[in-house]
Structure 1
Amino acid sequence: MRIFGLQITRAAQNTSPVSAYGGNGGWWPLIVREPFSGAWQQNRELAPETMLAYYAVYACVTLISADIGKLQINLTQRDDADIWSKTQSAAFSPVLLKPNGYQTHIQFIENWIMSKLTRGNAYVLKDRDARGVVTSMYVLDPSRTTVLVADDGSVYYRLSSDKLAGIPDTDGEVTVPASEIIHDRMNCLFHPLVGTSPLFACALAARQGLAIQNNSASFFENGAQPGGILVAPGAISDETAKRLKGKWEENFGGVNRGRLAVLGDGLKYEALTMNAVDAQLIEQQKMTAEIVCSVYHVPQYMVGVGTAPTYNNIEALSQNYYAQCLQSLIESLELCLDEGLALPKDYRTELDLDGLLRMDTATMIKTLTDGVGGGIVAPNEARKKINLKPVKGGATPYLQQQNYSLAALAERDANDPFAKPTPAAPAITVPAADPNSPTDSDTQPADDAKGLDALTIEREAQRQMAEAIAGALRLGVREPC
């Protein structure tokens, strides 16, 4: 038999694996159960559908799933420089853009995350073509899917009929191997193949919150303000009691609440039910909502619980929300898609976080300006962030001319940059020899004669000066200055 492009062998059909829920039943009996006998008949059982009626649970689940669903799924490829960049593939891109025939990629991801947050497990069935390439993906109902483990440790999944997913409506259930299911599980507390929903931890808080809301609704609808008893001074018959009760509810209940009551025959009214102030319903309601937010790791102000932060830093708030609440869910989804689609090692899926971690305009412009000025990003890359077209010459990062590399500065420091440079010796120009000028041998005697004459004249002048000084001393004449 061939189902979803997979050849199901007779051995697989006849396999009788054991349910992975085991003896403790995993998380399901801990949530879907009756807190007291008859709770199911009164619609008060702890089922996921019941707890989703509480506003804090609904707000957290829808907020998380919508924020992840709005992120574009990109197929990326690693290049020779170990950089991941967006790419297209005829085998993988179509199923990421359109997972199936009735859901967009946003609806598909939201359905995936909602299933994980409310049931702890997301089961995605893969549909293949004749080549074995995944062409469609379907999120299954967790309540109609069971994890099975065979004696040899192999994992199977038992699927009930699902017409949207193409599972035929047969007499029995279909069992498929784990290779045909993408299983994204959350908080495997009881079994490695069975996830636990956050509802497991906030079920009682959600039930208490619903009880407070129901009590408040009954409080204002009933209106026999306040509820109490009529006390007679003596014994009265059942007929009289019924008559007084009916008259009281008719005249002072519902829309007649707050009307003036006149009691006679010694009757006395005693209030029993606490009012909203005495019961501190507002504080109790806030507490239950805070518990739900803490379990889902959602900042309280994002679902209307508590006050918003006073400082205006959108990026910091988004980073905190992403790191504490969304990051684990996003990376788990990406990894499940990589393995489920059997992507090659140089390919992977990435959710575009620009739609989530969006800064305010002033901060974004300053960040991009610093990145371009520091040579980290090219001008065209910065322009793309703010949805502007590229410009000529903007594909290259730029730095100022006076900037030097660290290697050049290290070389300068090694050569003592503070030492004063030694002045260079002046260049001596030797005139070219004149072929017509006399040689050294021809001019040597004349030069020697000129040198002797000069020496003789100098010595004669010195002698004359000495004689003049001596004569002046003899005559008592003082030496002139």
Structure 2
Amino acid sequence: MGIFDIFRSRGGVPVEQRREPRVMASAEVSSIADLDDPRIQEYLRGRGFGSEAGAPVNPHSALKVATAFRCAAIINGAIATLPMDIKRRTGNTRVDANDAIIWDVLKTKPNPWQTPSEFKRLMQMMVLMRGNGYALIVRGAFGKIKWLIPLVGAMQVKQNTDFTLTYTYTRPDGAQITIAQEDILHLRGMSLDGINGLSVLGFARETIGISIQSEKHLAKVFKNGTSVGTVLSTAGEVDDRERLKADLEEYRGAENAHKTLILEGGLKWEKVDLSNLDLQFIQNREITATEICMFFGVPPFMVGLTTKQTSWGSGVEQMGIGFVAYTLQDWFTMWQDAIKRDLQPPDDPTLYVRINPSGLLRADIKTRVLSYAVGRQWGWWSADDVREMEDENPLPDGIGQTYLQAVNMQDASKATADLAAHDPNAPTSK
């Protein structure tokens, strides 16, 4: 069977009759052996895995929760937008490896319909939602990697007796195909067995289920509930309701604030505040949102939760640095190591891939200028180095390639030798 038969329909099934591929909501499917398990029935019905709160949780329902959507968008966006540097070490220098076989698929065109950022965003989303991201490696002449095709359907991974892996992919038409390890780019999240990654969605299912049910409850309140700010009550009867309404209109609006209200006929004015149950409901929604942020590793302030204190630093900049260091760096390393294992040719050990986070760590203009000045003063940056970091062209005629040296700094051994040459009685270092 040819490599493109993986995506062809068997039996001439029309496109409109094919099943749409479903994204597995959790890696826990692999641990279910009983087909009567209710989670299997829910999954086959397309509802996703149920939660104790009663709401089925799948990628589509989870992303309807604002916090989960924003957390996934932030992580996926960081992976998609940051540059992926493909370099080659040549002695002490590092140069762009634009002749590498992985340059085109990672930086130009991974497949006929996706841009590099779209491909990276989809693969990262699969890791978050499923625990694993798979792409078929399509090779052309001389083994050159031509395309990377994301495999969104269900995938089973089995370890063979020689410790290699075999992938069984379920196509959109329901047919299964076996793919060798060397033909798969496998992004694997945190794992318990080293083979299957753990889904963030699968382990956050209960928290997200509570949030989904809270949203439904709130929607029902807006649809069917009543909300009044004040109540007028009396033990008797109101003679003229219309006149009473007209009188109350004179006290509405900011221009009528703090006027004296005169009630007649035994009427009492009672203000209706939020009940303890309402206050607890609001608090629980905030707690649930914070817990979702914890599962994804996203600081709450990045999704709009600004009431919580943090120990990462006193400013937004420090909290952003903590997010890059403790969350994104883990995902960067996953990408870099997977590309090295599955895509990088073994006969090119000088080649390496690095996701450059400098764009996320970029300080304000004042801080950058001060750091550039220090680098220039002490001689580890040239003018062209600084201009490159600011995405500007080098200075003409190579005048920006000079490295400066502070006039009061020199080699200590050379200074001692010069002193001894002028004063034979001066102390020397040994």
Same fold (TM over 0.5): yes
Q: Per the alignment, in what secondary structure is the counterpart of residue 409 of structure 2?
A: coil
Q: Offset at 1:325?
A: 1.0
Question: What do residues 306-350 of structure 1 show as CA deviations (whole Å, max 9, x unaligned)?
Answer: 249898866533321111110010111012112222232100112
Moved more, 129-138 or 306-315: 306-315
Among candidates 389, 400, 404, match of residue 398 of structure 1: 404
Distance apart, 1:140 and its partner CA: 1.3
Which of 69, 72, 81 does residue 70 from structure 1 map onto? 81
Distance in 1 (alpha carbons) for counterparts of 2:356 and 2:426: 57
Relative distance call for 1:279 and 1:211 in structure 2 (3 A) is farther
Q: Matches of 2:411 and 2:52 in 1, distance apart?
A: 75
Pick from 49, 63, 68: which aligns with 1:33?
49
Aligned mate of 1:119, from 113, 127, 130: 130
CA distance in 2, matches of 1:216, 1:181: 45
Q: What percent of counterpart residues are identical?
A: 23
Q: Following the alignment from structure 2 to structure 1, what is the Cα–Cα distance between the partners of residues 150 and 400?
A: 44
Partner of 1:172: 175
| Among 72, 82, 85, the residue aligned to 1:61 | 72
**Amino acid in the other structure paired with 1:202:** A
State the shift of 1:213 in Å: 1.6
Q: Are positions 1:48 and 2:48 aligned together?
A: no
SS in 2 for 1:393: helix
Residue of structure 2 equivalent to 1:220: 222
Q: CA deviation at 1:94?
A: 1.2
Alignment partners' CA distance in 2, 1:135 and 1:374 = 46
Structure 1 counterpart of 2:297: 297
Q: For residue 197 of structure 1, report the CA deviation from its aligned partner.
A: 1.2
Q: How far, CA to CA, are the matches of 1:74 and 1:206 in structure 2?
A: 36
- Does residue 346 (structure 1) correspond to residue 350 (structure 2)? The answer is yes
Q: 1:92 to 1:225 in 2, by over 3 A?
A: closer
> Which residue is 2:387 aligned to?
383
Change (3 A) 1:113 1:409: same
Give the structure 2 partner of residue 79 of structure 1. Answer: 90
The aligned counterpart of 1:283 is 283
Alpha-carbon spacing, 1:45–1:5, altered in 2? closer, same or farther (3 Å): closer
Distance 1:283 1:113 in 2: 32
| Unpaired runs of at least 5, structure 1 | 7-18, 163-168, 227-273, 422-481
CA distance in 2 between counterparts of 1:20 and 1:299 reads: 27
Distance 2:212 2:424 in 1: 79
- Structure-1 separation of matches of 2:357 and 2:57: 35
- Say which of 118, 127, 147 aligns to 2:157: 147
Aligned-partner residue type, residue 291 of structure 1: E
**RCO (CA 8 Å, sep 6+): is it higher in 1 or 2?**
2
Once the two structures are TM-superposed, the CA of residue 278 in structure 1 deviates from its matched residue by: 3.9
Is 1:5–1:129's contact at 8 Å kept on the other side of the alignment?
A: no
Measure the CA separation in 1 of the matches of 2:222 and 2:316: 40
Q: Is the radius of gyration larger for structure 1 or structure 2? A: 1
Paired AA for residue 181 in structure 1: I
Kindly indicate whether the alpha-carbon contact (under 8 Å) linking 1:378 and 1:395 is maintained by their aligned counterparts in 2: yes
- Cα distance between partner residues in 1 of 2:202 and 2:127: 12
Show the counterpart of 1:198. 200
* TM-score, length of structure 1 as denominator length: 0.64
Contact kept in structure 2, 1:124 and 1:138, CA below 8 Å: yes
Instruction: Quote the Cα distance in structure 2 between the aligned partners of 1:320 and 1:417.
Output: 55
8 Å contact from structure 1 (residues 127, 137) kept in 2: yes
Label 1:221 to 1:403 Cα distance change in 2 as closer, same or farther (>3 A).
same
CA distance in 1, matches of 2:425, 2:307: 64
Residue 20 of structure 1 and its aligned partner are, at CA, apart by 11
- Could you tell me which residue of structure 2 aligns to residue 102 of structure 1? 113
Answer yes or no: is 1:355 the counterpart of 2:359: yes
Unaligned 5+ segments in structure 2 are 7-26, 34-38, 229-273
> Are the equivalent residues in 1 in contact too, given 2:185–2:343 (CA < 8 A)?
no
Distance in 2 between residues matched to 1:131 and 1:335, nearest whole Å: 24
2:330 alignment partner in structure 1: 328
Confirm or deny: 8 A CA contact 2:189 2:334 kept in the other structure: no
SS at match of 1:280: helix
Q: Which residue of 2 aligns with 1:236?
A: none
1:131 is displaced (CA, Å) by: 1.2
RMSD across aligned positions (CA): 3.4
The CA deviation string for residues 344-395 of structure 1, in whole angstroms up to 9 with x for no partner, is 2100112232322211000001101110111011111112222333224221
TM-score when scaled to structure 2?
Answer: 0.71
Select which of 188, 193, 196 maps to 2:191: 188
Counterpart contact for 1:5–1:132, Cα < 8 Å:
no
**Using a 3 Å threshold, how does the CA distance of structure 1 residues 408 and 291 change in structure 2: closer, same or farther?**
same
Cα shift at 1:199:
2.0
Structure 2 partner of 1:128: 139
Q: Distance in 2 between matches of 1:172 and 1:362?
A: 59
